[in-house]
Amino acid sequence: MMALWPRLQQQAQDQAARTPRLAAYLDTRILRHASFAGALADRLAQGLAQHAAGVELQDWFTELLDADILAAATADLERLALINPACPDELCGFLEFRGFLAVQVQRLAHRLWQADERHAAVLLQNWTATAWGLDLHPAARLGRGLFVDHGLGLVIGETAVVEDEVSLWHGVTLGSTLNESGDRHPKIRRGALVCAGATVLGNIEVGAGALVAAGAVVTRPVPAGRVVGGVPARDLGPVPAALGALQAAEVV
């Protein structure tokens, strides 16, 4: 398969030919850039510019982007296009999917947090929340290949860990119980799915490949490969084989 950046350029050229009214927009966002890094810095800066009161975001983001962030962004975008039939291709995901965009800003904010630039990191967090409706703490550790569907209302707390290839739907909260201090947020292991409106509270683990049903309230650990649902959540059995296909082909 063609590498992501040439693929995005080809998709932009094809779309511009199909819809000439979008040609200038696609040129600005994709075709005039020399690299994925440049286009990503521009797209994120454009998305937050209204809320950043004249801060030169594009140069700042270009400085923060590194090989790890770019590899994670690539994995996120490719998985989004692969498993979500509502996303026609990588170009659409890159330009318009708020979940993808917000996660990439969180990755930049995480770099600032690690460098003890806490105030700047929290500013990025809050600009992102205002622009796209997701509240992702800059200290949270996010893996690669994340699928953030719709994104609206997603909240990820400070000490949360979200591993590779996790799927998070709209309205999900990875929060604290208020009875813990320090490490107080959930750990979502590789390939787990947390469905719309679910709330996972406390320093607990949702095991690899587990599924948290829509609207569930989870305050106890979830074993790998199990389904939990209800309020409070209870074990509903193993993840059905058919739902395992969500790892590779989303049903929306």
Q: Is residue 166 part of a domain?
A: yes
Task: Judge if pTM exceeds 0.75.
Answer: yes
Q: Is residue 248 part of a domain?
A: no
10 in the same domain as 76: yes
Q: Is residue 247 part of a domain?
A: no
146 in the same domain as 110: no
36 in the same domain as 83: yes
Structural domain harbouring 196: 140-242
- Final residue belonging to a domain, choices 70, 102, 133: 133
4 in the same domain as 121: yes
117 in the same domain as 155: no
149 in the same domain as 212: yes
Residue owning tokens 């290949």: 145
Which one, of 109, 111, 115, 174, lies nearest residue 138 by Cα? 109
CATH number of the domain at 169, please: 2.160.10.10
Q: Is residue 249 part of a domain?
A: no
| Whether pLDDT at 243 is above 80 | no
Report whether 171 contacts 196 (CB < 8 A): yes
Residue 42 CB coordination number (10 Å): 19
| Whether pLDDT at 180 is above 90 | no
| Whether pLDDT at 159 is above 90 | yes
161 in the same domain as 102: no
CATH number of the domain at 89, please: 1.10.3130.10
Per-residue pLDDT reduced to its tens digit, 110-156: 999 999 999 999 999 999 999 999 999 999 999 999 999 899 999 99
Sign of the dihedral through C-alpha 96, 168, 157, 191: negative
Q: Is residue 251 part of a domain?
A: no
- Mean pLDDT, the chain, whole residue set: 94
Q: Where are the alpha helices (DSSP H) in the chain?
A: 4-18, 23-26, 36-48, 57-64, 67-83, 90-96, 98-114, 118-132, 241-244
| Whether pLDDT at 94 is above 50 | yes
Residues 6+ apart with CB under 8 A from 27: 12, 16
Query: What is the pLDDT, as a whole number, of residue 248?
Result: 42
Per-residue pLDDT reduced to its tens digit, 28-78: 999 999 999 999 999 999 999 999 988 999 999 999 999 999 999 999 999
107 in the same domain as 44: yes
44 in the same domain as 7: yes
For the chain, what is the domain count?
Answer: 2
77 in the same domain as 16: yes
173 in the same domain as 102: no
Sign of the dihedral through C-alpha 190, 156, 89, 108: negative
Fill in the DSSP letter of residue 222: B
Q: Is residue 151 part of a domain?
A: yes
User: In the structure, what pLDDT confidence band is assigned to residue 249 with cuts at 50, 70 and 90?
Assistant: very low
